[in-house]
Amino acid sequence: MTCAEKIRLYTDGIAERTGRRPGVSVTTFGCQQNEADSERLTGIAESLGYRRTDNEEEAYLIIYNTCAVREHAELKALSRTGQLKHLKERNPELIVCVCGCMVAQEHRLEDIKKRYPYVDILFGTASHGRLAEYLAEKIESGGRAFYPDSDYQIEEGLPVCRESSFKAWVSVMYGCDNFCTYCVVPYVRGRERSRRRECILEEIRGLVAGGVRDITLLGQNVNSYGKGLYDDYSFADLLEDICGIEGDYIIRFMTSHPKDATFRLIDVMAEHSRQDSRPRIARQFHLPLQSGSDRILRAMNRRYTRDRYLSLVNYMREKIPDIAVSTDIIVGFPGETEEDFSDTLEMLETVRFDAFFSFIYSPRKGTPAARMEQVPDDVKTERFARMLEVQNRISREKNDLYVGRTERVLVEGRSKTDPGMMTGRNEKNRLIHFRGDDSLTGNFVNVKIISADTYYVEGAFEKEGLDEQNEVQSH
């Protein structure tokens, strides 16, 4: 009997005894790659006879898929793990599993083993497809099981339980070879490896045929897609092939690296985001800058200069004049002086990003930057506040330009902060709120923008603006 068959029998047994299939609750900490991984873990658990639930109280399998990029994310996951003790006492059949980037670090694996004796299974990022095996071993032995990552392979064909019926993540490559000095990703997700193009195209064809409208291609460094797999097939070629798939959908991608993003990639985007035909690629580019100082970029081992960065942005804006450009910035990297920080502020004013994600540097164990001379916490916090002030002003000015325009919006559902409003995003990923009803969820609609805020704009749904080939369906 295979491990999957054993777990199926086991879950059937619980279902017979309790009158309900046993629940599986999967919680994601961290990035979009982790969200995509969690959808796979949920899909695998469902294929083993578990029923997806958001209520940990009724779960027989709890999986925490953790992140290691910032200390804050690790502490949050550990604090939540601590709270599982009482659930385990109440239901001894509950299996607690902690996995993901945090667990792929040896010191954290040892820490969790010692401090949380009720965690049954620990594994990293490389072996989701072995979940049935891990569960079978746990159930048969009754003991705890720890699986540090050793072999980073690509696992195709695993079941996926997607959170949304109209938005989807599609991983195109995994891992990273760049070794930026602040980052743990190359240590916890292994070296770069790309999925075969035919697997990616087949997955996207299936998603589009199933009604998915917004697809984000994922990878730690999508611009190096194909390296080591193909001699003359790049990320730009992949995007072109994807755009050949018929249907009403939009493609986004993240994350790009400024040293690897090419002018050809921008040409392909320009060709397939034209407004005179239905655009296939979103007019949006997320390009992490991290710092505006060449000195700090060198210390980060980013391997580009601010001039190279600006030449990419200028080319994008020349080819796609209204493209939305967003970025990531790290404040307080070791050795950052006031002058370095001023260079970053100057880049914000020069580029005028549509959105940014900013982080206060926190040292990650085992990375070179953790051993460099650190910037005092109060200096980092003060710089962070100043930077936010600059970017908030720019974001607000950019949002003001939307007022009076009509935007095509993919409706995501009710606003979390105001259930009276519907919320969605335009092609440029701008958050848009408007009054409407649940039947619009999952559809493209036209919204006339009437007011702007720093982080979103508000508008009115234009009924006659509904796409004809896009009749409202409920999802």
User: Does 185 interact with ligand SF4 (rule: CB under 6 A)?
Assistant: yes
| Alpha carbons 11 and 343: distance in angstroms, whole number | 58
User: Does 180 interact with ligand SF4 (rule: CB under 6 A)?
Assistant: yes
| Alpha carbons 332 and 116: distance in angstroms, whole number | 33
Q: What per-residue string of b and e applies to 32-60 under the rule 16 or more CB within 10 Å gives b?
A: ebbbbbbbbbbbbbbbbbbbbbeebeebb
- Residue span binding ligand SF4 (CB under 6 A) among the ranges 181-189, 273-281, 336-344, 349-357: 181-189
User: Does 297 interact with ligand SF4 (rule: CB under 6 A)?
Assistant: no
- Residue span binding ligand SF4 (CB under 6 A) among the ranges 47-55, 183-191, 235-243, 445-453: 183-191
Query: What is the nearest approach in angstroms of ligand SF4 to the Cβ of residue 68?
Result: 11
Q: Which is nearer to ligand SF4, 179 or 357 (CB)?
A: 179
From 159, 219, 230, select the one nearest 190 (Cα to Cα).
219
User: Does 32 interact with ligand SF4 (rule: CB under 6 A)?
Assistant: no
User: Does 178 interact with ligand SF4 (rule: CB under 6 A)?
Assistant: yes
SS3 416: coil
Q: Which is nearer to ligand SF4, 6 or 189 (CB)?
A: 189
Q: Which is nearer to ligand SF4, 304 or 402 (CB)?
A: 304
DSSP annotation of 290: B
User: Does 171 interact with ligand SF4 (rule: CB under 6 A)?
Assistant: no
User: Does 324 interact with ligand SF4 (rule: CB under 6 A)?
Assistant: no
Q: Which is nearer to ligand SF4, 48 or 185 (CB)?
A: 185
Binding to ligand SF4 (CB under 6 A): which residues in 212-231? 220-221
Pairing status of strand 406-414 against strand 422-426: antiparallel
Q: Which is nearer to ligand SF4, 178 or 305 (CB)?
A: 178
User: Does 363 interact with ligand SF4 (rule: CB under 6 A)?
Assistant: no
Angle at 326 between CA 452 and CA 33, to 5 degrees: 115
3-state SS track over 420-458:
CCEEEEECCCCEEEEECCHHHCCCEEEEEEEEECCCCEE
Query: What is the nearest approach in angstroms of ligand SF4 to the Cβ of residue 301?
Result: 8
Window 245-284: contact mask with ligand SF4 (x via CB under 6 A): ------------x---------------------------
| Binder of ligand SF4 out of 36, 99, 176, 266 (CB under 6 A) | 176
| Binder of ligand SF4 out of 129, 148, 159, 186 (CB under 6 A) | 186
| Binder of ligand SF4 out of 31, 63, 183, 325 (CB under 6 A) | 183
Query: What is the nearest approach in angstroms of ligand SF4 to the Cβ of residue 102?
Result: 15
Identify residue 4 by its one-letter amino acid code.
A
φ, ψ for residue 117, nearest 5 deg: -65, -15
How big is the site for ligand SF4, counted in residues (CB under 6 A)? Answer: 10
Please enumerate in sequence order all residues whose Cβ is within 8 A of that of 210, keeping only pairs 6 or more positions apart, or say none.
165
- Long-range contact set of residues 278-281: C-beta below 8 Å, sequence gap at least 24: 278/248, 279/250, 279/427, 280/242, 280/243, 280/249, 280/250, 280/251, 281/239, 281/243, 281/250, 281/251, 281/252
| Alpha carbons 435 and 100: distance in angstroms, whole number | 39
CA 406 to chain centre: 28
- Residue span binding ligand SF4 (CB under 6 A) among the ranges 49-57, 171-179, 209-217, 385-393: 171-179
Please enumerate in sequence order all residues whose Cβ is within 8 A of that of 473, keeping only pairs 6 or more positions apart, or say none.
211, 442, 443
- Tell me which residues touch ligand SF4 (CB under 6 A): 176, 178-180, 183, 185-186, 220-221, 257
